[in-house]
Amino acid sequence: MKLTRLRLTGFKSFVEATEFQIEPGLSGVVGPNGCGKSNLVEALRWVMGESSFKNMRASGMDDVIFAGSGSRPARNVAEVGLTLDNADRKAPAMFNDADTLEVTRRIEREEGSTYRINGKEVRARDVQLLFADAATGSRSPALVRQGQISEIISAKPQSRRRILEDAAGIAGLHSRRHEAELRLRAAEDNLVRLEDVLREIDSQIEALKRQARQAGRYRSLAADIRAAEALLAAIGYREARDQAAAAERQAEAALREVAEATRVQAEAARLQAVEAHALPALREAEAAAAAALTRLTRALDEAEAEDRRSRQRAEELARRIAELDADLAREAGAASDAEASLARLAEEAEALAKAGEGAEDARAEAIGAQGAADAAVAEAEAAQNAAQRALADLTARRSAFERALREAAERAARHRVEREGLERALAALDADSGSGAALTALAEALAGAEAELKAADEAAVSARQLLAASREAEARARQPQIEADRKAQRLETEVRTLQKLLAGGSSDLWPPVLDQIAAQKGYETALGAALGDDLDASSNPSAPVHWRESGDGAADPALPGDAEPLA
């Protein structure tokens, strides 16, 4: 290869495009100092791949660009082109298809430089190998500069060897050998890293195998545990059903006892009403007997004591009646709650029994259970209305008792007024001693009134006994209800647990969504951490717990940074 032409544009002092023809033979440049003779040699070295700005007599590589003068502005681009004659085809194989090679180096301020050969961008290493094969280059002894002869004479043997290699034309081979050695060392380093990566992958594979075995064992044990729990729940359900039937029978017996107590209380109220109806006749007899009390001070004292006892008994009777009303109301509410709980338990027991027969009929049975629940709600509402009517009846009875108490208080007041009148009549009778026959008649009337009063006392005692019996019956009836409430709560808990177990144990009918998911290698841990036990849910919409589509995700917020979606 031969150099035929040098073209410079914006390189150092050559601001305008300048071409230098290199003709066969000896070509020379003559000029005064500072005219740019050395810039031509530096342009040759620069286009041949010189990378040291110090060898270019500059403080930076951008200094090779024309920096401007008093009459010309600075340039931002410098370019040097060198034309080579490749008629003998001694260029490297990649560039050996053309008779003429044009090597160009272009630099932009603060952007770096680029190399081109025949318009195709190449590396600086390719340009250096091209000129090394031609026994020249940016740092070749073929380019003689000032002071280089003395450097060659005093050079070390290693430097002289380089001069001889350039003269023999094997500098390019040494460059290629050095590059090949660098590539071989890089390949060896890559092989070492590859072996490390393979060892790490093998250890990860072993760990994943262990995890897979543990996961399989966990699934097997979980299935056995679910089957055992389901069996235990079924056994508990049968026991709960038997206990519920027994509680229902006890509740019916308690209701019958409450009805009997209610009947006894109504009979006591009827007797009290009869006695209240007989009170006017007693008052008349008492008025007739009052005339006889005018001379019987002792009989008057006894009547006063009896009056105090009557008031105390009336107050005690009123208090016990109020307590009976409250107990009856509480018993009615408790009985209503027990009936509602028993009805709900019966419905849930029927639903669970149907659910255990087959998972395919779960939907139809759920619809039937819903209808039964609606019917139970209607029955509960009817029971509530009946309880409200009973409460209204009891309220009316309490009002009647209170009215009777007020009337008794009024009668006691009238008794006090009549007693004062009797005292005055007694004083008058003391002054009159000729009425023996009248006193005898009055004594007989007083004896009759006392007998009637004694009968009224016995009726009150009987009513109090009936009230105490009613309270005892109420206490006995309330105990089965409390026990039934506790059993109902325990049955509800067992029913919910059984429903959960039955819903989770239908893996054959509703396979888990994990069977349909394939995780990319390296993302298994991320999938398990993100979804966890939700991977056991099914994708079948008829499953109790299932996955479903939530849209195309257009409204979802953007992921932060360089995060990748798990999907």
User: pLDDT tens for residues 203-215?
Assistant: 999 999 999 999 9
Q: For the chain, what's the residue count?
A: 567
pLDDT at 502 over 50: no
- pLDDT at residue 536, rounded to an integer: 80
pLDDT digits (tens, 9 = 90+) for 225-274: 998 988 999 998 999 889 989 988 888 888 888 888 888 888 878 887 88
- pLDDT at residue 124, rounded to an integer: 86
pLDDT digits (tens, 9 = 90+) for 442-499: 556 556 656 665 665 676 566 566 656 666 765 676 676 667 667 666 656 655 554 5
- pLDDT at residue 116, rounded to an integer: 94
- pLDDT at residue 359, rounded to an integer: 45
Burial 458-479 (b: 16+ CB within 10 A, else e): eebeebeebbeebeebbeebbe
pLDDT at 509 over 90: no
pLDDT at 52 over 80: yes
Taking the C-alpha atoms of residue 273 and residue 263, their distance in angstroms, rounded to an integer, is: 15
The residue that leads in pLDDT, 469 or 91, is: 91
- pLDDT at residue 127, rounded to an integer: 86
- pLDDT at residue 157, rounded to an integer: 78
The residue that leads in pLDDT, 81 or 304, is: 81
Q: How many CA within 13 A on the CB side of residue 198? A: 6
Q: Give the amino acid at 410.
A: E
Q: How much of the chain, in percent, has pLDDT values that exceed 90?
A: 11
Cα separation values, 545 from 300, 501, 535, 552, Å: 87, 12, 11, 22
Task: Give one word for 553, left, alpha or beta, with left for phi > 0 and alpha for psi -120 to 50.
Answer: left
218-227, 283-292, 357-366, 524-533: which range is least confident on average?
Answer: 357-366
pLDDT digits (tens, 9 = 90+) for 308-342: 777 787 777 677 777 767 766 776 676 676 567 66
Phi, psi of 481 (to 5 degrees): -65, -45
* Cα 442 → chain centroid: 93
